[in-house]
Amino acid sequence: MSLMLDEIAEQPRVLEKTINEETTKLAKLGNFLQNRDIQLIILVARGSSDNAALFGRYLLEINCGIPVSLSAPSVYTLYNSKLNLKKALVVGVSQSGEGSDINQVLADAKEFGAFTLGITNNNESLITKTADETLLIHAGQEKSVAATKTYTGQMLHFYLLANALLAQSEQIELEKIPAYAYEAIKLHTKIKEIAQRYTFMENCVVVGRGLNYGNSFELALKLMETCYVVAERFSSADFFHGPLAIVERRFPVIMFAPDGVTNKSNLRLLNSLKELNADSFTITNKKEIAKMSSRSLLMSEEIEEILSPIPFVIPAQMFSAYLSEEKGLNPDSPRSLSKVTKTV
């Protein structure tokens, strides 16, 4: 079994440990931030961390009502722009904590008046010395190049941050997530069986909307780096604005489709795919969506949409790892890639 699969299996424990170790710190941080009158949150990241940040944007804006922007690091690192960030919270997300551009953005943001946070899995990394405060993912060393447990750990920290900014009566029930993650891992036999059916897949589209939009980017990235599949990613809403034209008979479309406010657009897309005789594989907990799909992975109906992103991405991670093995590849060591990538 690959290191990637081993590390996927560790996620329930990592999530539970991170909640236990970081909740007290986040509560204190919440009091500080509420007194600081934060009016803007800026997230800066690269790679899988950027996909976690995309999820974080939706979560924080939906639940906290604070505008969130995904930073373009080159604005700071190449164009040397000076921004007014006096009422901003700037959050750097980096599993290694060593991303050169992420740390430069945090350093500059402090000079421009922002309060800065770092989210990392390395408590001795540069980001811990650069940011005003650090939130740790308690994942242990991640050996596989493909990020899994650090990705969901980063997502969890956005839940914790949201709760830190929310009143007690508005708290998200994030304590349920580790149990949902454990249940997702138990689907490994079914996922391996599905992966075998896609052994010869060379191209696909991954679709997710709202809270699962970031997961569509993350699964596409995993398929590209571990399986060498050319994977495009779209919102189910955007997919009708042109990209639907690339779909033909048996073309694979993979969807994150939790029961919730995105049902209407997901069902509309599945109807179109059916008319085109395309191949649809959905990760869902809505029986109607599963029934309309060529293949589906049915998750627990108990999972509310707001808590779906972490348990829904775990089967996607396993699908990538198993598909890589079916293709005769090593998901732990993708060609041309290294664990830590430094850009400016």
pLDDT, one tens digit per residue, over 260-318 is: 999 999 999 999 889 888 899 999 999 999 999 999 999 999 999 999 999 999 999 99
What CA–CA distance (Å, rounded) separates 2 from 322? Answer: 9
Q: What long-range pairs does 75-84 form, CB within 8 A, spacing at least 24?
A: 76/101, 76/104, 76/105, 76/108, 76/109, 77/101, 77/104, 77/105, 77/344, 78/344, 82/112, 83/109, 83/112, 84/112, 84/113
**DSSP assignments along 238-268, one per residue:** GGGTTGGGG--TT-EEEEEE-SSTTHHHHHH
Q: Domains plus CATH for the chain?
A: 3-172 (3.40.50.10490), 184-326 (3.40.50.10490)
What CA–CA distance (Å, rounded) separates 77 from 100? Answer: 9
pLDDT beyond 70 at 246: no
240-267: average pLDDT: 83
- Provide the 3-class DSSP secondary structure of residue 189: helix
Instruction: Identify whether the C-beta of residue 293 lies closer than 8 Å to the C-beta of residue 270.
Output: yes
pTM for the model stands at 0.94
